[in-house]
Amino acid sequence: MIQEKTCQNCGRTITWRKKWEKCWDEVKYCSARCRQEKPDPINQKLENAILDLLTQRSAAATICPSEAARALFPDEEWHEHMEQTRQAARRLVAKGKIDILQKGRVVDPSTAKGPIRLRRKKDRSEVTG
């Protein structure tokens, strides 16, 4: 059985490797870069901005990640924060709070390339009821 974890920084999937056999429980980051660039307060603000924007919309509505970046950095160069915003979205997927979509379909956040949309995770009551 292949074991997987989610990187605590970028939200990408970390797949088990033989070299981590003795320390798998301690693996938290997918790369040296992510280990050095641990989430900071801005990342938490981006997660909150995404959730706030989605809460303001209907349950089926989606947002573009750039909306969260623009909400936090209206006077700055918001596009410079887009990778952080996508990372925040991937972490929210790992927490089970949102889905990442492309062309209306849920996609794997670790491999999604190009434009994405974000949607609140559907509750079981919404799916069955």
The residues spanned by each domain of the chain are: 4-36, 41-128
- Express each pLDDT in 89-121 by its tens digit: 999 998 899 999 999 899 988 888 889 999 998
> Could you tell me which CATH number the domain at 41-128 has?
1.10.10.10
Cβ 27 vs Cβ 3: under 8 Å: no
For 5, the 3-state DSSP assignment is: strand
13 sits in which H/E element? strand 13-15
Closest CA to 96 of 105, 106, 83: 106
What is the average per-residue pLDDT within 41-50? Answer: 91
Question: Greater confidence, 30 or 44?
Answer: 44
Residue owning tokens 């074991």: 3
Q: What is the DSSP string of 50-106?
A: HHHHHHTS-TT-EE-HHHHHHHH-SSS-GGGGHHHHHHHHHHHHHTTSEEEEETTEE
Question: Greater confidence, 23 or 48?
Answer: 48
